Amino acid sequence: MYALVDRKDAKQDASLPPPSSSSPPSTTKRVLLVLLLVTVGLTASLVLVRFMRSDSFHHVVLWLQTHETLGAVLYVCCFTLFVVLCFPSTAFELLAGYVFGFSLGLVLATTGKLVGSVLSFVIGRHVCRRQVHVYMSQGHPALRGFQSLLRKRQILVVFLTRVAFFPIALKNYGLSVLDVTFPVYFAAAVLTGLPFSAIWVYSGHAVENVATLLASPSTSGHGTEMIVLVVGAGSALLLLGVVGIYTRKYVLEMAQEEEEEEEEEEEEAVEKEALSGATV
């Protein structure tokens, strides 16, 4: 129904010789892209850290905490917009815990992320499906294997894709152009998004608590509290990273195996057609 790769185009592509995997221009482009992303990431991190140490950031936090209702609505709207625009959601989830505390921050972060994900899915499927189709097929060739997997194990693949460390564009817009039903996508977005948001919001709340402890006069119990907060947040983030990385690896391996099996089946079908034509 929403197949990413047309069967006729796939057969034509299969008849062409495979491109060289060790192409120097391709390798150079990948290295340059990685360096560019690292540079942008480091620059953004430095700007963010500098902003967090400024008086402007503290004024923003104080305003959000003072006007809690209006600040919560503004936060959810901004978070939703950033998810639709495919910006990483981690910073907003950390901010929720830092500003609103764990309980309210978790509710707001989960709401903003879920609404943004659902809007992205709807936009990708019903508003600009053709553009998303072209971009995803060019930028994420593994989606062809995903499409084959979805025909067999839709729920498992969708849940694993949401858990794995994939770009947010792939998790939302990429799944929107595949054979994924909305109930399955919505359930995966809720059930996988909540634990991730809880970890990041808790980490942001831990940072706020550590900052409070550092600013207050030292007592005998503060050192223990700081150790518990740092170890707890660090362990949660480590677990999150391990799960995300290994899930991504597992999903990509499944997609690659499925794509290879599909290509073998297509080759066998072509050979059978050729043999039947020769016998006739």
Number of H helices and E strands in the chain, helices first, is 13, 0
Does 19 fall in a domain? no
Q: Does residue 248 form part of some domain?
A: yes
Phi, psi for residue 54 in degrees, rounded to 5: -85, 165
Query: Do the domain assignments include residue 45?
Result: no
pLDDT in tens, 176-200: 888 889 999 999 999 988 988 998 8
DSSP state of 20: P
At residue 147, the pLDDT reads 72
Q: Which residue has the higher pLDDT, 210 or 117?
A: 117
How many domains does the chain divide into?
1
HSE-CB at 271 with a 13 A cutoff on CA atoms is 6
What is the C-alpha to C-alpha distance for residues 46 and 133, in angstroms, rounded to an integer?
Answer: 35
Q: Which of 230, 232, 208, 231 is nearest to 94 (CA)?
A: 208
Q: Tell me: the pLDDT tens digits for 31-54?
A: 776 677 667 666 765 666 676 667
**Residues 249-260: pLDDT tens digits?**
777 777 777 667
Domain that holds residue 130: 55-271
**Looking up tokens 């949660």, which residue turns up?**
236
Distances (CA, A) of 26 to 13, 16, 21, 128, 186: 19, 19, 8, 29, 37
Taking CA atoms, 64 is separated from 51, 61, 75, 102, 204, in Å, by 16, 5, 9, 15, 15
Q: How many residues would you count in the chain? A: 280
Report if residue 21 sits inside a domain: no
Residue 27 included in any domain = no
Whether 7 is in a domain gets the answer no
Residue of 179, 144, 156 whose CA lies nearest to 266: 144
CA 223 to chain centre: 35
Tell whether 278 is covered by a domain: no
Q: The whole model's pTM is what?
A: 0.66
Confidence category of residue 87, pLDDT binned at 50, 70, 90: confident
Residue 38 maps to a domain: no
Instruction: Give the pLDDT band (50/70/90) at residue 279.
Output: low
